[in-house]
Amino acid sequence: MNIDKAITYAESIVRKSLNYFYDCFPTEQSENLVFKKFENVSWTTGFYEGILWLMYELTGDKAFYNSAKHHSEMFHKRLVDRVELEHHDMGFLFTLSSVADYKITEDEQAKQDGIEAAEWLLKRYQPKGKFIQAWGSMDDAQNYRFIVDCMLNIPLLFWASEVTGNRKYYDAAYNHMKTSIANIIRPDASSYHTFFFDMATNEPLRGETHQGFSDDSSWARGQSWAVYGLALCYHYTHEEAILPLFERVTKYFIDHLPEDYVPYWDLIFSDGSCEPRDTSAAAIAACGILEMEKYYHNQEFLDIAKKMMSSLSEKYTTVDYLQSNGIIKDGMYSRKHGHKSECTSWGDYFYLEALMRMKKSDWKIYW
């Protein structure tokens, strides 16, 4: 795989849209491989600022820096105006914007914005159930659940604990991690998308899917969230019990990859299926494997991560679609809800993050 060539192509895509997205963000997914303009109201807008910071670190070009700082100001305004903050995706939003900004520039306002975002995320914590509730009213029994995606949101809390010295953030993140490990990971190391508890008794009730094929299958992106989430939890906790679980969860993911190493949107599907792929799941899992490689060497996993990235860069970029302003195609937002294969904002981000990891092994993570 030619890493420099892949980065150069990604740079060309991001650069040509700098002015177009200067005062806004890309939509969650593209339409005919073209992202439209979007206000800062979604759970996905942080991915664009994350891309800008990655491009700045890869190129040193102030054009990316200036755009990233401008978008940080928009995230500050989102906090001030309290725009769509009452959900668990505060990590996706503010880790790749305010926290990344602070880690790169040491901007004090960015640091305070990250801490404030962590406070909002902490409001989603259910102390009796010991998990961060995904959506809805905190006193609604029908919403008394969490989802596997939140494994990528809790690093915001771990980070907030580090920079403030306040244990409350760490404890909430750690407890959510333990609850997830105990309930959302099945005995065979596959994963549920969402898991419900009884609000009155706090007894575990059932696992279900929200975007996967069925309650018993393993949604590909959900499994990749588990892979990367466990790696990030190990980064912050160094809890040895995570290592064998990471190995099993990752093995399940790679054992269900098709011949070209890019999964179908649910791992129940295999070679010969007419179902769509989800390139974003491959990129996310690659990031998780490359993160854990810093602590736990597994040559098989490392080889698979490289093969996934090679396949993405050689077969799934938008290079043949001149109208596109996305980087990788064939991302699947939610097949179950009627979405089509497109570029996704998170797919582009994690693909570029994985390229960064392959280019610079000493890269300091934003998470």
pLDDT, one tens digit per residue, over 356-365 is 999 999 999 9
User: How many CA atoms, within 13 angstroms, populate the side-chain half-sphere of residue 90?
Assistant: 33
Query: What angle do helix axes 3-16 and 345-359 make, rounded to 10 degrees?
Result: 140
| Cβ neighbours for 31, distance < 8 A, ≥ 6 positions apart | 342
Any binding-site annotation on 129? no
Q: For residue 138, what pLDDT is reported? A: 97
CA neighbor of 275 nearest in space, from 365, 213, 343: 213
Any binding-site annotation on 89? yes
Among 89, 266, 278, 330, the one annotated catalytic: 89
Active-site residue flag, 188: no
Q: In angstroms, rounded to a whole number, what is the distance separating the alpha carbons of residues 191 and 252?
A: 10
Domain with 105 in it: 3-359
Any binding-site annotation on 215? no
Terminal alpha carbon distance of the chain: 26
Residue 365 lies in a domain: no
pLDDT, one tens digit per residue, over 128-154 is 999 999 999 999 999 999 999 999 999
Active-site residue flag, 113: no
Q: Please name every residue paired with 206 in a beta bridge, in sequence order, or none if there are none.
A: 196
Any binding-site annotation on 164? no
Average pLDDT score over residue span 191-214: 97
Among 113, 149, 278, 330, the one annotated catalytic: 149
Residue 46 lies in a domain: yes
Residue 155 lies in a domain: yes
Q: For residue 207, what pLDDT is reported? A: 97
Chain position carrying tokens 């996934």:
308
State the chain's mean pLDDT as an integer. Answer: 98
Residue 367 lies in a domain: no
Residue 366 lies in a domain: no
Any binding-site annotation on 334? yes
Cα dihedral 239, 232, 301, 362 in deg (nearest 10): -110
Number of structural domains found in the chain: 1
Average pLDDT score over residue span 157-169: 99
pLDDT, one tens digit per residue, over 73-129 is 999 999 999 999 999 999 999 999 999 999 999 999 999 999 999 999 999 999 999
Q: For residue 306, what pLDDT is reported? A: 99
Chain position carrying tokens 């089509």:
340
Write the CATH number for 77. Answer: 1.50.10.10
pLDDT, one tens digit per residue, over 299-318 is 999 999 999 999 999 999 99
Residue 153 lies in a domain: yes
Any binding-site annotation on 221? yes
How far is C-alpha 231 from the geometric centre of its chain's CA atoms? 12
Residue 175 lies in a domain: yes
Based on DSSP, count helices (H) and strands (E) in the chain, helices before strands.
13, 7
Residue 217 lies in a domain: yes
